[in-house]
Amino acid sequence: MSNKIWSVVKFKIKLGCEEEFLAAHNFTDEHKSHFLSFRAIRVDENLVVHIAEYENIEKVFAAQDQGLDWLTSVEHLIEYYHDSRTESFSGIEIYSH
């Protein structure tokens, strides 16, 4: 069984801010080194989802501070979900085809 971790984070982008939000995805090589893969997808108007694949939980923890710093840097571009900046969940990969 795989120990890969998948993280899914949904952002509600403020109207008119999507281009600036997407331009902010200029991660450093060191930050990108934590991911096996990373995608940003549009699921609806002004809704963007990040899907990140990590080799293991240690890589998730290693990326956490940089991810939070990045989130703070784009906070002015996103709307809150009640008292949270995002809706998110993570889990261990249990099946792959």
pLDDT digits (tens, 9 = 90+) for 41-94: 999 999 999 999 999 999 999 999 999 999 999 999 999 988 899 999 999 999
Global pTM reads 0.89
Residue 63 lies in a domain: yes
Residue 59 covered by a domain: yes
Q: In the chain, at which residue ranges do the beta strands (DSSP E only) sit?
A: 5-13, 35-44, 47-54, 78-79, 87-92
Residue 18 lies in a domain: yes
Structural domain boundaries, residue 46:
5-92
Please give the tally of structural domains in the chain.
Answer: 1
Residue 97 lies in a domain: no
**Residue 9 belongs to a domain with what CATH number?**
3.30.70.100
